[in-house]
């Protein structure tokens, strides 16, 4: 897998701030290059950019995108689109195909998603055929795709680095030029 981008549909600024932030953080941790937000919420961009500033890496956030245009552009550049939905095919049945993609857009909703997304997607994929959380759906999908690889990629340029410890907190403050 070379490139993964996350597309977040249906974000409602008045009620989805926390969960959309967590979708972005989870995608970042597991190797996505960025998140496209198909709603206007500068606050989400700010809070994710704050995390990237402190914890490193190059994760980008694009606010208020036109999702159809983004999907069209992605596909024109040879990318594939995986929409996560409890109505889709089972993740284990398509994991091998997803792993083969060089460019994969993972799409998650918040409220009811626009029906055309089911047609635009190359795969509609269920992480179990029960309703649950977009954060869990992203985490499990990306983890299955990355099977065998380290959980975390590198996050260069961070202000802070955690040193894994059996107990307590060990954090290094990095000196930057």
Residues lying near ligand SAM in the complex (CB under 6 A): 84-86, 108-110, 112-113, 126-128, 130-134, 137
Q: Which residues pair with 72 in a beta bridge?
A: none
Residue 6 CB, shortest distance to ligand SAM, in Å, is 11
Residue 47 CB, shortest distance to ligand SAM, in Å, is 20
Nearer to ligand SAM, 39 or 85 (CB): 85
Residue 124 CB, shortest distance to ligand SAM, in Å, is 9
Shortest Cβ contact with ligand SAM: which residue? 109
Residue 101 CB, shortest distance to ligand SAM, in Å, is 18
Assign 176 to helix, strand or coil.
coil
State both tokens at 12: 């409602």
Nearer to ligand SAM, 25 or 52 (CB): 25
Nearer to ligand SAM, 99 or 153 (CB): 99
Nearer to ligand SAM, 73 or 133 (CB): 133
Q: CA 141, CA 147: separation in Å to the nearest integer?
A: 10
Residue 132 CB, shortest distance to ligand SAM, in Å, is 5
- Contact by Cβ (8 Å): 67, 36: yes
Nearer to ligand SAM, 101 or 137 (CB): 137
Burial of 100: CB neighbours in 10 Å, binned 0-12, 13-18, 19+: exposed
The residues, ordered by sequence, that sit 6+ positions from 57 with a Cβ below 8 Å of its Cβ are 28, 153, 154, 155, 156, 157, 158
Q: CA 62, CA 64: separation in Å to the nearest integer?
A: 7
């Amino acid at each position: 897998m070379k490139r993964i981008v996350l597309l977040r549909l249906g974000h409602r600024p008045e009620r989805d701030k926390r969960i959309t932030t967590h979708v972005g953080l989870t995608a970042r941790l597991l190797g996505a290059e960025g998140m496209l937000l198909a709603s206007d919420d500068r606050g989400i961009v700010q809070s994710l950019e704050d995390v990237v500033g402190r914890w490193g890496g190059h994760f980008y956030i694009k606010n208020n995108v036109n999702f159809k245009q983004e999907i069209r552009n992605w596909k024109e550049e040879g990318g594939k689109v995986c929409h996560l939905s409890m109505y889709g095919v089972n993740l284990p049945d398509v994991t091998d195909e997803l792993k083969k993609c060089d460019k994969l857009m993972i799409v998650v909703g918040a409220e009811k998603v626009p029906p055309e997304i089911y047609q635009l997607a190359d795969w509609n994929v269920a992480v179990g055929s029960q309703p649950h959380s977009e954060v869990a759906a992203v985490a499990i999908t990306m983890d299955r795709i990355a099977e065998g690889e380290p959980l975390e990629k590198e996050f260069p340029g961070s202000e802070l680095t955690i040193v894994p410890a059996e107990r307590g907190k060990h954090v290094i403050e990095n000196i930057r030029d």
